[in-house]
Amino acid sequence: MPHYYTYCDIKIKSFYFTHFYDIIRHEFKREMRKILAFLLVSIAPCVSIADDASDSATLEGLYDLYQTVQHFCGGISDRISSVSGVSKINTAVTAVGTVAAGGALAFGIAKAQTDKYIEELQKQICERGGCDPDKVDQMSDDEFFGNVIRPFTEAIEADAELKRLQDEQAAEIEKSKRQGNWRTGLMVGSFGTNVASAIIAGLNRNQSDLIQQITACNAAVKNLRAARTAAIKSGINPVENPIISEFNDTLQMCGTLDVENVEKIEKRMTVVMGTSIGGAVISAIGAGTSIAANTDSVRDDDTAAGKQREKNLNTTANVSAGLATATGAVGTGFNISLITLTKKLLESAEQCEDTL
């Protein structure tokens, strides 16, 4: 027989169902809170570990870049110091050459004055009959009486004066020869120093290796700076990671070397080499003409053409000495400027390497 629910039965069942639903809903919320708490406790450390791993990788990359800076920026000061040493040596060499050429010019000028005085003495000797021993035989009676038949005391005085002039002329001739020899020797010295300077400048003119190293150093510093900035922006705290702050001095002192300054070194070395080559050629010409001008065959040629040739040779030697002095001064000036330039570069390089 079918069972029919009464009104009371329905109310009772409805009450139990509603109460059971509330219990289930409450338990579900409580269980979900447990699950959420479990997830927070379990997953959060994993996220933290992942962040730590990412930070560690970033810091490791920064250190690798720092080692790259150490590799390329270290040792630059040694290269620059070598260039500076070469410049100092070449400055001394060109300075000696300049002094030698200047000394040759001074002796050449003094020799010209001595030769001029010798000519004046020659005129006085000739006026007193010392140039033409046959002059007496060619005199007329009146000339013989006026110039030869004189009081004995006057003749003695005339002979004494003539001998004095001749002795003085002989001494001046020896003096002129010594001055010519000094000029020649100093011109040879100028030639030698110019050759040495040209070789030194030529061997050290090419600084491509230094340029490449400085370029690589600057690039490495630029990369380290960019990576450090990116690391800080990504959230890495410099206070908690002191290694980032350790890069500050390196980033401040390194990467400041200018390749253009090294290119200036190359250009100035080229100028020094050119002036030294020119000075060597000029000095060789001056030495050759000085030797020729001081030979006995040239000096003893009393013909007008011979005397003119001697003057021309002496003039050429003196002009060469003057030009060699000028080129030596230019080379010395450029070498001094090289010392100043390399000094600044060396200071910058050493300041960088002190932070590595």
d(CA 258, CA 280) in angstroms, rounded, equals 34
Of the chain, the percentage scoring pLDDT greater than 70 comes to: 76
Chain segment 111-167, per-residue pLDDT in tens: 999 999 988 988 888 877 667 655 555 555 555 555 555 544 555 556 778 788 888
d(CA 108, CA 110) in angstroms, rounded, equals 5
- Model confidence, pTM: 0.73
**Looking at the predicted structure, is the pLDDT value of residue 63 above 90?**
no
Chain segment 209-259, per-residue pLDDT in tens: 999 999 999 999 999 998 888 888 887 777 777 777 778 888 888 888 889
Packing angle of the helix pair 76-127, 304-354 (nearest 10 deg): 160
Nearest residue to 287 (alpha-carbon basis) of 277, 279, 275, 299? 279
Supply the pLDDT for residue 55: 58
Give me the residue spans of the domains in the chain: 9-45, 80-107+187-354
Element (H, E) at 45: helix 7-73
Residues 265-282, mean pLDDT to the nearest whole number: 95
Supply the pLDDT for residue 54: 55
Nearest residue to 280 (alpha-carbon basis) of 342, 344, 331, 355? 331
CA dist 66 to 61, 221, 228, 252, Å?
9, 8, 10, 13
CA dist 276 to 70, 196, 271, 316, 329, Å?
39, 8, 8, 20, 10
